[in-house]
Amino acid sequence: MDRIEKINEFLADNPNDNFLRHALALEYIKAGRDTEARVLFEAILAASPDYIGSYYHLAKLLEKLQETTLAIEWYEKGMAAAKTAGDNHSYNELMAAYEDLVY
């Protein structure tokens, strides 16, 4: 059984587990299934805007897909969420990626 199948098996029991959904989205990226990853990251952040790690990965994916304007928006949303959560590490990581893209 591959990792995607295994994570989906776990998600069958816990469909709203953001850790599992995030892990699945990362596996989708590894498998070249970018559209599925994007949909999953967007669903995670729509339901749980405080799930900070997904902002970075969604924005990076959007960069890869050459959707720069959207990537910038997601970095900005992520920085705001990280600041609200007091998560300085994530804020700095998002800011660095944002600055690399914008400047």
Please tell me the predicted confidence (pLDDT) of residue 56.
98
Give the C-alpha separation, 29 to 17, whole Å: 19
The CB density around residue 88, as the number of other CB atoms within 10 Å, is 10
Confidence band (pLDDT; 50, 70, 90) for 61?
very high
Distance separating alpha carbons of residues 9 and 6, to the nearest angstrom: 5
For the segment 12-60, what is each residue's pLDDT rounded down to a tens digit?
999 999 999 999 999 999 999 999 999 999 999 999 999 999 999 999 9
Contact 52, 85 (CB under 8 A): yes
Residue 67 has pLDDT above 90, yes or no: yes
Domain extent listing, the chain: 3-102
The answer to whether residues 73 and 88 touch, using CB atoms and an 8 Å cutoff, is no
Residue 9: the pLDDT is: 96
Q: What is the mean pLDDT of residues 67-88?
A: 98
Q: Give the Cα separation of 26 and 54 in Å (integer).
A: 10
Fold (topology level) of 3-102:
1.25.40
Nearest residue to 23 (alpha-carbon basis) of 1, 48, 6? 6
Q: How many residues does the chain have?
A: 103
